Structure 1
Amino acid sequence: MKKILNSYLSSFAGLSSEVWWLALITLINRAGTMVIPFLSLYLTQNLGFTLENVGTIMTSFGLGSLFGAWAGGKLTDKIGYYQTMVGSLFLTGILFISVQFLEGLWPICIGIFLLMTVADAFRPASYVALSAYSKPENKTRSVTLIRLAINLGFSAGPALGGILISSVGYGGLFYADGGTCILASILLLAVLNPKRAKVTDTLKIVENPKSAYFDGPYILFIICMIMVSFAFVQYFSTVPIFYKEVHSLSELEIGILMALNGFTIFLLEMPLIKFMESKAFSQLTNVLFGLALIGLSFFVLNLFENSSILVAGMLLMTFGEMIAFPFSNAFAMKRATRGKQGEYLALYTIAFSIAHVFAHNLGMKSIAKFGFQTTWYTICIVCVVGIGLLAALNKSLNRKKAILE
């Protein structure tokens, strides 16, 4: 047991104190994101919207995320990652508290759009900060530490969210989300001020940086990440409805099941990433393998009617996520040294935003028209196409690398 513990702790060695502070800020912020997993249930059960209405609102969610990621990249390149992160966190807190008072389809759409625009400006800025605070050889593990903080927050968040819904109703979630965002902005001001924080990445960015929008292989990579995220985001919109309507789970049971995702990541992701880094696989090969597991998680949902299969599906998705996202993020940060960092990492964030724009809406409408089974098989097909594109991209990059060598 001591040997296992020492091995686990050694996987965290060498990370800078700034990365640890950024992880703590992320943990505080994400522990309060209780609204997101329950948003589709809140809109249907508390506000009485139809699935088609929810799809429209989630499209506003995605459009705000898309615009926010783009704006965050521009702001990061122009005014710096620190100022962008502080402003985003504080204003997101105010908006989270305010949006619960909106009524009607279009006011809620506008409110959710503004909320996500401000909230997702944080993401490209945080990736650039993470890259600055990490040595090149530690970037994948630094990403993994931030993901641990995110998922530990998500592990506590849904469970606490289920308790809050049962005790004080959905309104308490918005206050919790807003308060934690404001708290995270205060901590960021206190510990990561550029006058105190130390930049540890000595890798120089190229002069006359090229635009990410003209980097062909990177654009193909972003298309692949859209497919990855298209499948992944279903676990935060259509899958909770599947749990509720098909398997009759309560909000508390849904929260606990989703907490399994965060808890598993907290326990296993860092050792898993350290192990996989010791192998000869490329970053894109690991992303491909992770996407295969995510696709398989939907396939098994159609195989069995027993509710125990939901645990197997969640674990498959979790392991796919643990592999795909750290290595894809590390690939994006490495590629970003070729050009404008904010622009490159904004595009990486935009891949997820595009999925929010289309995936939730298409998923909801597909369920309403064709049912859950057809929808899950369709998502599996999307994953297979993504796997094929990743394999082709990996082969192309390896061929170019061999020529250069």
Structure 2
Amino acid sequence: MKTLFNSYINTFKGLSREVWLLALITLINRAGTMVIPFLSLYLTEKLEFSLEDVGWIMSAFGLGSVAGSWLGGKLTDAIGYYKVMVYSLIGTGIFFIFLQFFDTFVGFCFGIFSVMLVADAFRPALFVALSAYSKPENRTRSVTLIRLAINLGFSAGPAIGGLIITTMSYSGLFWVDGITCLVASLVLIDTLNPRKAKTLEEVKTANPESAYKDKAFLIFLVAMVLFGIIFLQYFSTMPLYYKESHKLSELEIGILLGGNGFLIFLLEMPLIKWLETSRFSKTGLMLFGALLTGLSFIILNFTTWSGVLVFGMLLMTFGEMIAFPFSNAFALDRAKKGNQGEYMALYSISFSVAHIFGHNTGMRLVSHLGFNNTWYIVTLLSVMCMLLLATLKHYLKPKRSLKKKELSF
């Protein structure tokens, strides 16, 4: 047991102090975003908006995320990742506090759009900072550590948020969310000031290429949009399937979904450490992750036995653990040839676009075609995602071969 524990701890070794600080800042920030899980309840119960109104507000949420990611990438290339992260955290804190004072439909649409515009500018800057503070051989594990911080933050956030609602009302959520963002900004200013932090890699490229002209990257982005749409079904249509088709209680659904976060916390870092040293390429691993995620849906149509839900969740969890870190690492590596902020903004936008279309599309498919047909369609999307990743792998092969030939002369 001691040897196993030591092996687990060793998977975290080699990461820079700055990466650990970024993970701490991310944990504080994500644990503080407790308004988000309770947003639909707040809008329907407190503000008494209709479900149609809530749908439009969530669209404003997604559009703000897209605009924020794009703006964050532009600003990162213009003024640097550090200033963007600081301004984003401070601005998000202030905007979250003021969001509680918007109580009309149009006002709240504007408010939530503004919050996400400022909040998601943080994401491209964070990715570029990771690139600056990570050694190339540790980059995928650095991304994985940030993912662990996000998962821990999102796990703690709803629990703390529920407690705040019962003791302080919904307004307390906005105050705590705002204050935690401001605290995260203070930690960032105190610990990651460029004068104090040790940058391991230069984040500027002498003659940057536009990400919009990088065909391989554009193929990759379309594949990520598809993967995001597939993955998000586990947080929109899948809970409904658990309840309506398999009659699971809220507690059982919570345990099943909670198992996903627990497995990620327990296994993702050792898995990534092992895969990093394997002979598999990043594109091949992303393809395998998409395959596992697609299988997690199609197996649900093979039996009515509720135990299949556990196997589905396991397949999806391992698919997620493989696809996300290596897709992120692929984007960071690709960004070395251009403006890193632009590259990482487009990567972030791919998942924002998936949020805009994924939830709504899944709900409509279930409503009109039923769960079984929806799972067939989602599986087909995973096949399309895999074909794009296979195309990407094939597209990159000749260039690798050419590089080897050039080195041999």
TM-score (norm 1): 0.90
Could you say what secondary structure the match of 2:94 adopts? helix
Moved over 6 A (4+): none
The one-letter amino acid of 1:293's match is L
Question: Does the CA contact (< 8 Å) of 1:74 and 1:342 recur in 2?
Answer: yes
- How far apart, in 2, do the equivalents of 1:148 and 1:237 lie? 22
1:91 and 2:91 matched? yes
Residue 289 of structure 2 corresponds to 290
Indicate the larger mover: 99-108 or 270-279.
99-108
Following superposition, the deviation at residue 277 of structure 1 comes to: 1.3
Deviation digits for residues 344-403 of structure 1 (CA, Å, limit 9, x no counterpart): 111111111111222223233333433444333322221111011101111221132113
Residue 401 of structure 1 corresponds to 400
- How far apart, in 2, do the equivalents of 1:221 and 1:129 lie? 22
The alpha-carbon distance between structure 1 residues 322 and 155, as it changes in their structure 2 partners (threshold 3 A), is: same
Residue 328 of structure 2 corresponds to 329
The one-letter amino acid of 1:22's match is L
1:148 and 2:148 matched? yes
The one-letter amino acid of 1:92's match is T
Residue 179 of structure 2 corresponds to 179
Could you say what secondary structure the match of 2:206 adopts? coil
Residue 112 of structure 1 corresponds to 112
TM-score (norm 2): 0.90
Residue 73 of structure 1 corresponds to 73
1:19 and 2:19 matched? yes
Residue 218 of structure 2 corresponds to 219
The alpha-carbon distance between structure 1 residues 374 and 322, as it changes in their structure 2 partners (threshold 3 A), is: same
Deviation digits for residues 58-108 of structure 1 (CA, Å, limit 9, x no counterpart): 221111111000000011011111111011112212222333443344333
Following superposition, the deviation at residue 148 of structure 1 comes to: 1.1
The one-letter amino acid of 1:397's match is L
Following superposition, the deviation at residue 168 of structure 1 comes to: 5.6
1:190 and 2:184 matched? no
Question: Does the CA contact (< 8 Å) of 1:155 and 1:258 recur in 2?
Answer: no
Residue 201 of structure 2 corresponds to 201
The alpha-carbon distance between structure 1 residues 258 and 229, as it changes in their structure 2 partners (threshold 3 A), is: same
Indicate the larger mover: 181-190 or 46-55.
46-55
Structure 1: gaps of 5 or more residues = none
Deviation digits for residues 220-272 of structure 1 (CA, Å, limit 9, x no counterpart): 1111111111122333444445556664644x665554433222211111100
Where do residues 59-70 of structure 1 align in structure 2 (5 Å cutoff)?
A: 59-70=59-70
The alpha-carbon distance between structure 1 residues 174 and 234, as it changes in their structure 2 partners (threshold 3 A), is: farther
- How far apart, in 2, do the equivalents of 1:242 and 1:50 lie? 23
Residue 130 of structure 1 corresponds to 130
The one-letter amino acid of 2:234's match is Y
The one-letter amino acid of 1:98's match is F
Deviation digits for residues 188-243 of structure 1 (CA, Å, limit 9, x no counterpart): 111111110110126x7542211111111111111111111112233344444555
- How far apart, in 2, do the equivalents of 1:173 and 1:309 lie? 37
Question: Does the CA contact (< 8 Å) of 1:238 and 1:364 recur in 2?
Answer: yes
Question: Does the CA contact (< 8 Å) of 1:93 and 1:181 recur in 2?
Answer: yes
Residue 387 of structure 1 corresponds to 386
Where do residues 267-282 of structure 1 align in structure 2 (5 Å cutoff)?
A: 267-282=266-281
Tell me the C-alpha RMSD between the 2 structures. Answer: 2.5
Between the two proteins, the alignment pairs up a number of residues equal to 403
- How far apart, in 2, do the equivalents of 1:302 and 1:161 lie? 36
- How far apart, in 2, do the equivalents of 1:346 and 1:394 lie? 22
Residue 9 of structure 1 corresponds to 9
Could you say what secondary structure the match of 1:158 adopts? helix
Indicate the larger mover: 154-163 or 287-296.
154-163
- How far apart, in 2, do the equivalents of 1:210 and 1:256 lie? 46
Indicate the larger mover: 21-30 or 298-307.
298-307
The one-letter amino acid of 1:277's match is E
Where do residues 188-267 of structure 1 align in structure 2 (5 Å cutoff)?
A: 188-201=188-201, 206-242=205-241, 247=247, 249-250=249-250, 256-267=255-266
1:353 and 2:333 matched? no
Could you say what secondary structure the match of 2:400 adopts? helix
Structure 2: gaps of 5 or more residues = 405-409
Following superposition, the deviation at residue 306 of structure 1 comes to: 6.1
Residue 28 of structure 2 corresponds to 28
Following superposition, the deviation at residue 167 of structure 1 comes to: 6.0
Deviation digits for residues 131-187 of structure 1 (CA, Å, limit 9, x no counterpart): 000111111111111111111112222343455556665544433332322211111
1:317 and 2:284 matched? no
Question: Does the CA contact (< 8 Å) of 1:141 and 1:270 recur in 2?
Answer: yes
